[in-house]
Amino acid sequence: MNSEALSALIAKNPSLKGSKAKLELMEPGSYVIHRSWGFGQIKSYDDSAQRLLIDFKGKKAHPMDPAFCLNTMEVLPAKHLLVRKETEPKKIAELIADDPAQLVAEALEAYPNHATSAIDLEITLTQVVGEDKYKKWWSAAKKAIGKDPRISMPEKKTELFVLRETPVSAEDEILEQFHSTRSARRRIALAEELVATVAKKEIKTDLLAVLKTVADGVKDSNQLDASERLYGASVRDDLAKLAGSEEVFEPTQAALIANARDLPAIAEKIPVHFQSAFLELVKATHPVESRDIVFTLLKTSQGKFTTECINFLIENGHADELAAALKRWQTEQNLRAPVLLWIVKNRHSKKFAKLLNDLITPRLLGAVFFAIDYEALQASSARRIPLADILSEDTDLIADLLSTADPETARDLANTLMLNQGFEELTKKSLLARFIKIFPKIQSLVAADAEGKEEQLLVSKASFERKREEYEIIVSKKIPENSKAIATAREHGDLKENSEYKMAKQDQQVLMAQKTNLEKDLGRARISDFKEATTEQVSAGTVVTVKDGNGKSTQYTILGAWDGDPDQNIISYKTALGVALLGKKAGDTVKVKTGASDESYTVVGIELYKA
């Protein structure tokens, strides 16, 4: 916008005089960011209309009032990354690919005081790198940026990225952060970074002050849980070794894991890169019991720790015991999702062939389905289930597990799949297609089952709610309580002689069967108010008067499948008498088998049921 155009605009609207400097920046060729339209370039100014013409993505020559743009649009400096992406695309592409730290340094140079918030910087970088590539790129870029002495990285997104006037060594930056924080957890993490930095650069510095602070935190801080305290003790000891200190600090790592009962809770939270060292520490602290302890840890392990436990047992000569334990856990329905996930992922590994060959059976697929169903029922949100994901993504997995199955077993597993809570309907159908490819007859068997399931159950609203409440109690209360009972009983020792465990497992089978049956019934139910009934013939929703062979009259109310109340002479249309009477008219006689004899009933009258 030239001086004449600016003067004309201010003359028309004198209140813009204080914004003259901002308006002067709105020149043709300048790049801008608009709150609504995003990144664009001012192409020209229309004097007659007093409007800026701006090219935005998908909106060319868009006219905008300069006065309106003052609070909604920012003119970007020539050094801004978004501008340079347009003016120096090759250079910016090279920095993105080869030197992310330099890219961030040059981005910060464009800001006042060479600083901006993490949120603002990340928004800009997302647009420069591209939304589809940004997340992966930024994850790697942060490591390079963190090592650059010119850039100060914030701990929180609300804090600032700063381009320092004087570069600071990584070691000094860590020490600065260490001494400025009061968090015991943060100090341990920074001390670990310091150990890696000093050891790598072979810098001899005074680490004793840091060592004392970390040691005091491990000993006295109430901010740390048991796993954090153990890991802190490990960092402390590494720091002492690096500092050349021969002092024996309390508590020792061995003392922190002296009680074997504490180990599962500690193992659950230890950092991934400390898991292997943790198992070696267990072995050193509990030399006689270490094998049994690691078996216990394996049962409740998650993610990479499952692999670490298995590798530890094999490397320490317990491969045969491990194979036997996995078979036993499979028989006892005790294989949990993380271990199952490890088995199916490693089923083709030559290293574990001897260990896993006997496990790759239809029974394992049943265990996988059970684990997925159980995890879906326990989940408080719609989080992903890794075991379900791999079953969908690994197109050979079902075929491998069904390789020794007979058609009947395959049909049972296919039906189990269709009732599983851990899959969406489309996924179930996709997985079922893999069954049918191996066992074509399953198509007709499953189709027959489906036809059987299509028969609807006519039910009252009240009985449906009772049945649904029964299902909810089983799913949300009884199954979780049973799972806890199994876990508690398992801790009591030898499962072969453990009556509490056997009873809990029997209860589990009953509960899962009840859950499955209720799901089938609720899926078939159709709620009715029975107002469609007529007095022309007997149907659900009618009151029928019948005479037996002795001339005795009785009145029965025929209602839904779950509405029976013998004390009130209310019967379900699905009972033997209900089925016999359906469709009959006044004067018709029916025979109903009661015990060893047949009873005759004659329909005397039909009335409508009134709720």
For residue 300, report the phi and psi dihedrals to the nearest 5 degrees. Answer: -105, 15
Q: How far apart are CA 477 and CA 481, in angstroms?
A: 6
Q: How far apart are CA 517 and CA 564, in angstroms?
A: 19
Q: How far apart are CA 475 and CA 462, in angstroms?
A: 20
Nearest to 26 by CA among 80, 64, 58: 64
DSSP string, 458-487: EE-HHHHHHHHHHHHHIIIIIHHHHHHHHH
Specify the pLDDT at position 278: 96
N-to-C CA span, the chain: 81
How does 389-414 read in b/e, with b if 16+ C-beta sit within 10 Å? eebeeeeebbebbbeebeeebbbebb
Specify the pLDDT at position 53: 94
Q: Which long-range contacts (CB under 8 A, 24 or more apart) does 285-288 make?
A: 285/253, 285/254, 285/257, 285/258, 286/257, 286/260
DSSP string, 504-527: HHHHHHHHHHHHHHHHHHHHHEEE
Listed by start position, the domains of the chain span 3-75, 81-163, 455-527, 542-608
Q: Using an 8 Å Cβ cutoff, are 39 and 49 in contact? A: no
Q: How far apart are CA 318 and CA 310, in angstroms?
A: 9
The DSSP H or E segment spanning 40 is: strand 38-46
For residue 555, report the phi and psi dihedrals to the nearest 5 degrees. Answer: -110, 125
Nearest to 343 by CA among 327, 356, 330, 358: 356
Neighbouring residues of 64: CB distance < 8 A, sequence distance ≥ 6? 51, 52, 53, 54, 73
- Cis? peptide before 251, omega within 30° of 0: yes
Question: Nearest 5°: CA angle at 35, between 31 and 41?
Answer: 20
Cross-strand bridge partners of residue 594: 597
Q: Using an 8 Å Cβ cutoff, are 420 and 372 in contact? A: yes
Query: Domain 455-527: which CATH class?
Result: mainly alpha
Query: Domain 542-608: which CATH class?
Result: alpha beta
- 311-339: pLDDT as tens digits: 999 999 999 999 999 988 887 777 889 99
Give the Å distances, CA to CA, from 558 to 578, 582, 587: 7, 9, 18
Q: How far apart are CA 110 and CA 121, in angstroms?
A: 11
Give every residue of the chain whose pLDDT is below 50, as ranges: 380-382, 452-453
Specify the pLDDT at position 236: 94
Q: How far apart are CA 26 and CA 69, in angstroms?
A: 10
For residue 570, report the phi and psi dihedrals to the nearest 5 degrees. Answer: -100, 125
Q: How far apart are CA 552 and CA 549, in angstroms?
A: 7
Nearest to 149 by CA among 103, 105, 100: 105
Nearest to 186 by CA among 224, 159, 212: 224
Neighbouring residues of 105: CB distance < 8 A, sequence distance ≥ 6? 148, 150, 151, 163
Specify the pLDDT at position 383: 64
What is the biggest distance separating any 2 CA atoms in the chain, rounded to whole angstroms? 115
Domain 3-75 has CATH 2.30.30: yes
DSSP string, 162-192: EE-SS---HHHHHHHHHHH---HHHHHHHHH
- Taking the whole predicted model, whether its pTM rises above 0.95 is answered as no
